[in-house]
Amino acid sequence: MAEIDFSKRSFNYYPTNAIVVAKFVDGKWSRPEVTGDFNFSLHCFAGIFHYAPSCFEGLKAYRGADGRVRMFRPDENAKRMESSARYLDMAYPSEELFIEACTLAVQANWEHVPSFESGATLYLRPILIGINPQLGINSSKDVLFAVMVSAVGTYSGAKILVPGTAVMSRNYDRAATFGSGGYKLGANYAQSLHAYNLAHKLGYRELLFLDTATHTRVEEFGSSNFFGIKDGCYITPDSPSVLPSITNKSLRRIAEEFGLKVERRAIPVEELGSFEEVNSCGTAVVITPICRIDDKPALESDTVTRQFRYPEVCGKYSEKLYHRLVGIQRGIEEDTYGWCVFVNEPN
């Protein structure tokens, strides 16, 4: 087979060989099955088509400098899927099943794991959806768990660490105060789609959501968490309606290693004016610097009330954090935390 050129990839769906599927039906999990059939045949009354019993995950597999393939912290994704499924009152795969399915998905698509040199990665998308036919509003008792993959480039399409702009969302909320924001539910993304489209049409790379109750505190971006740096301190919001990002959790650990103080606390919107570096962080975006955040009364409005500006190049702490994180993921730096899980080449 001809070698695939991964170097020009964006963050998108690209065809691969196979997906992995397991079902929880009548109280029992099936064994994970590798299949080349990318279509699901589901009953039209399956819960997923009506009440959105759906959660998902995102993680990446990397071909390291040493040629070995590793996944980054899949155990954390398994735990977060469990927490999302518990919120939906649905069955969930054990950590063992989750990691087995991810491993099988990588092995079944081995030639789609991009070369180290390309800088691209294999993105894994595990999903968990309710499938039994139902009409009343109930949680699903039968679920489908699948892991699919796509070999991707940077999320923004720009080169790594090139800053982009963001706009605050004052007239669309992502997650209610006592709602589902802290879980990775499909429904949370449905809620932000329209606002996201507006922001993109206006040329912004990111959309910054505020707390729903008061619109006075920074929550997170539509695709990723927020962190800022000032006075030798890594600061990120602490809120139950923010998704607990595995990237952010890892960066907090690395920040401590670099001697930065780490604060998880409320961030008033006014404080945006005092950060030296601002970034979005997540599996898809990795670390993406933000060079400007516009505050508008409404996304549809022509008025920009104020602008928070940051350097047009990636800040020095953010760049250091990026290189240490990606260095571990890509096998350039020693994985002193034991975060990577190796995947053996299939026989």
The footprint of ligand PLP (CB under 6 A) covers 58, 220, 223-225, 243, 245-248, 282-283
Q: Scan residues 12-41 and list those touching ligand COI (CB under 6 A).
A: none
- The CB-of-93 to ligand COI minimum distance in angstroms stands at 18
- Which residue type occupies 195? A
Task: Collect all residues with Cβ–Cβ distance below 8 Å to 275 and sequence separation of at least 6.
Answer: 228, 229, 230, 235, 308, 310
Q: Would you give the binding string for ligand COI spanning residues 55-74, x where CB under 6 A is met?
A: ---x----------------
Nearer Cβ to ligand COI (13/178): 13
CB of 245 to ligand PLP, least distance (A): 3
Would you say 131 or 185 has its CB closer to ligand PLP? 185
| Segment contacting ligand COI by CB under 6 A, of 143-151, 168-176, 277-285, 323-331 | 277-285
DSSP secondary structure string for all residues of 204-232: -SEEEEE-TTTS-BEEEESSSEEEEEETT
- Should residue 121 be labelled a site residue for ligand COI when binding is judged by CB under 6 A? no
Span from 27-35, 37-45, 258-266, 281-289 in contact with ligand COI (CB under 6 A): 281-289
| Smallest separation (angstroms) from ligand COI to the CB of 36 | 24
* C-beta closer to ligand PLP: residue 184 or 296: 184
Q: Which is nearer to ligand PLP, 74 or 282 (CB)?
A: 282
Counting contacts by CB under 6 A, is residue 284 touching ligand COI?
yes
Q: Is residue 283 near ligand COI by the rule CB under 6 A?
A: yes
DSSP notation for 240-266: TTS---HHHHHHHHHHHHTT-EEEEE-
Q: Which does 207 bind (CB under 5 to 8 A by kind): ligand COI, ligand PLP, none?
A: none
* CB neighbourhood size of 329 (10 A): 24
**Is the distance from CB of 53 to CB of 90 less than 8 angstroms?**
yes
Question: From CA 278, how far away is CA 229, in angstroms rounded?
Answer: 7
CA separation, residue 99 to residues 71, 76, 79, 81, 325 (Å): 9, 10, 11, 12, 21
Percent helix, strand and coil across the chain, each rounded to 5?
25, 30, 45
Contact call for residue 225 and ligand COI (CB under 6 A): no
Residue closer to ligand PLP by CB (options 134, 224) is 224
**3 state DSSP class of 333:** coil
132 or 223: CB nearest ligand COI: 223
Tokens of 148: 């699919």
Member of 282, 289, 315, 331 binding ligand COI (CB under 6 A) = 282
Q: What are the b/e assignments for 79-107, b being 16+ CB within 10 Å?
A: bbbbebbebbebbbbebebbbbbbbbbbb
Q: At CA 194, angle to CA 191 and CA 200, rounded to 5?
A: 125
Q: Which of 223, 241, 279, 288 binds ligand COI (CB under 6 A)?
A: 223
Among all residues, whose Cβ is closest to ligand PLP? Answer: 282
The DSSP string of 7-21 is TT--SS----S-EEE
Query: How far is the C-alpha of 333 from the C-alpha of 347, rounded, in Å?
Result: 28
Q: Is 244 in the site for ligand COI (CB under 6 A)?
A: no
Structure tokens at 246: 């595995």
Tell me the window of 96-104, 136-144, 175-183, 280-288 that interacts with ligand COI (CB under 6 A): 280-288
Q: Return residues touching ligand COI (CB under 6 A).
A: 58, 223, 282-284
